[in-house]
Amino acid sequence: MHILIIGAAGMVGRKLTDRLTADGRLGDREIERLTLVDVVAPQAPAGFAGAVETLTVDLSVPEAAPALVARRPDVIFHLAAIVSGEAEADFDKGYRINLDGTRYLFEAIRQEGLKGPYKPRVVFTSSIAVFGAPFPEKIGDEFFTTPLTSYGTQKAIGELLLADYSRRGFFDGIGIRLPTICIRPGKPNKAASGFFSNILREPLAGQEAVLPVSTDVRHWFASPRAAVGFLVHAGTLDLSRMGWRRNISLPGLSATVGEEIEALRRVAGEAAVKRIRHEPDETIIKIVDGWARDFDASRAESLGFVAETSFDDIIRAHVEDELGGTIG
């Protein structure tokens, strides 16, 4: 099996690569070849017996996708995107990367199939940002998509394209709406949702963090560990079980910022909580105010997708995976 990961240098891409190379297989098929692609050079995994190719590629360049698809990967994980805050700040860049790059990829697959039978599995990472207020108490898969950000709009268009290209038989696609991934390791990025991780990650490492919203803000979360599990499952799931409803909201945990902080207090103590400084940011507050807060993920759960059920577990997963089990 040949697997292509686009966005392989990002946090989730790196963790997915590590998981796949550790397993050595996806489902019941051995992984013989990995192609890792990003706008910065991805790292080749250590200890993988198969062939690995790392490429520095900008998917928003029209010629890029056909060259990647010409290698005829069996499974394509499309993770590449710029984050919400950056897409909102730079309209042109957001549409060029998040929409044009996706369309170029899907069309390259269709064109490759015209040369001879080719129908790969495509896993597209969408977002709960495709939904916009006003919200029901819990958002189900039948709730209409009316995004209130450019990022959410770009992802919603990608979902429609994926469903149509799958319906027409050009590839076998699934779009997975990821919850906000928390706790993200590394340094803060430009995502408007970044503070959800920052107020846990930095205090756990003995550093100060800034909270730009009130503690009663509620949101939908899953850990990086869960995100990788979602991707692996999406890569092996019998998609005939989904019919033509190929985009799905995944399981997660609905919690307030205050509940995040209380979990931090239980796991790491009062000293960690005191490292959080409240500095309201009206731009972030406005963006977050239009985000979904809770979901009915029963459809995804019936298809075998699984996430954490407590913020204590999310924090402990970060401590185990990123801090060697030790809190700073």
Residue 303 has pLDDT above 70, yes or no: yes
In a domain, 188, yes or no: no
Residue 278 has pLDDT above 70, yes or no: yes
Q: Which residues contact 114 (CB under 8 A, 6 or more apart)?
A: none
- Find residue 145's DSSP bridge partners: none
Is there a contact between 215 and 289 (Cβ–Cβ < 8 Å)? Answer: no
Whether a cis peptide bond, with omega within 30° of 0, leads into 134 is yes
Statement to judge: residues 152 and 206 lie in one domain: no
Q: What is the percent of the chain with per-residue pLDDT over 70, rounded to a whole number? A: 99
Of 190 and 152, the structure prediction assigns the larger pLDDT to 152
In a domain, 43, yes or no: yes
In a domain, 238, yes or no: yes
Statement to judge: residues 133 and 275 lie in one domain: no
Statement to judge: residues 153 and 213 lie in one domain: no
Is there a contact between 297 and 249 (Cβ–Cβ < 8 Å)? Answer: yes
Q: How far is CA 126 from the centre of its chain?
A: 7
In a domain, 36, yes or no: yes
DSSP one-letter code for 96 = I
Statement to judge: residues 201 and 75 lie in one domain: no
Catalytically annotated residue among 95, 118, 151, 165? 151
Q: What is the DSSP string of 200-236?
A: HHHHHTT--EEE-S-TT-EEEEE-HHHHHHHHHHHHH
Statement to judge: residues 315 and 231 lie in one domain: no
Q: Residue 29: what pLDDT? A: 96
Kindly tell me the sign of the dihedral angle through the C-alpha atoms of 239, 130, 124, 199.
negative
Q: Give the pLDDT band (50/70/90) at residue 328.
A: low
> Domain of 283?
194-219+253-295+303-322
Statement to judge: residues 54 and 123 lie in one domain: yes
In a domain, 184, yes or no: no
Residue 321 has pLDDT above 80, yes or no: yes
Statement to judge: residues 161 and 270 lie in one domain: no
Q: Give the pLDDT band (50/70/90) at residue 287.
A: confident
**How many beta carbons lie within 10 A of that of residue 294, not counting itself?**
17
The beta-carbon contacts of 107-116 under 8 Å, at least 24 apart in sequence, are 107/65, 108/65, 108/66, 108/68, 108/69, 109/69, 109/76, 109/165, 109/170, 109/171, 110/165, 110/170, 110/171, 111/66, 111/69, 112/66, 112/69, 112/70, 112/72, 113/170, 113/171
Statement to judge: residues 233 and 286 lie in one domain: no
In a domain, 189, yes or no: no
Statement to judge: residues 263 and 199 lie in one domain: yes
- DSSP helix/strand/coil, 51: strand
CATH number at residue 22: 3.40.50.720
305/323 Cα distance (integer angstroms): 26
Statement to judge: residues 206 and 314 lie in one domain: yes
Statement to judge: residues 82 and 166 lie in one domain: yes
151 is catalytic: yes
pLDDT digits (tens, 9 = 90+) for 26-78: 999 999 999 999 999 999 998 898 999 999 999 999 999 999 999 999 999 99
First to last CA, the chain: 42
pLDDT digits (tens, 9 = 90+) for 195-218: 999 999 999 999 999 999 999 999
Is there a contact between 130 and 177 (Cβ–Cβ < 8 Å)? Answer: yes
188/183 Cα distance (integer angstroms): 11
Q: Among 64-78, 172-186, 247-261, 280-294, which stretch is predicted with the lowest mean pLDDT?
A: 280-294
User: What total of structural domains would you count in the chain?
Assistant: 2
Q: Residue 192: what pLDDT? A: 79
Is there a contact between 141 and 248 (Cβ–Cβ < 8 Å)? Answer: yes
Statement to judge: residues 70 and 153 lie in one domain: yes
In this prediction the pTM is 0.94
In a domain, 84, yes or no: yes
What is the residue-averaged pLDDT of the chain? Answer: 95
Site of tokens 């730079």: 90
In a domain, 159, yes or no: yes
Q: Show the tokens assigned to 229.
A: 């599990």
Secondary structure element (H or E) that encloses residue 305, with its range: none
The beta-carbon contacts of 268-274 under 8 Å, at least 24 apart in sequence, are 268/203, 268/204, 268/315, 268/327, 272/203, 272/204, 272/327, 273/203
Average pLDDT score over residue span 221-232 = 97
CATH number at residue 201: 3.90.25.10
pLDDT digits (tens, 9 = 90+) for 109-157: 999 999 999 999 999 999 999 998 899 989 998 999 999 899 999 999 9
Is there a contact between 217 and 199 (Cβ–Cβ < 8 Å)? Answer: no
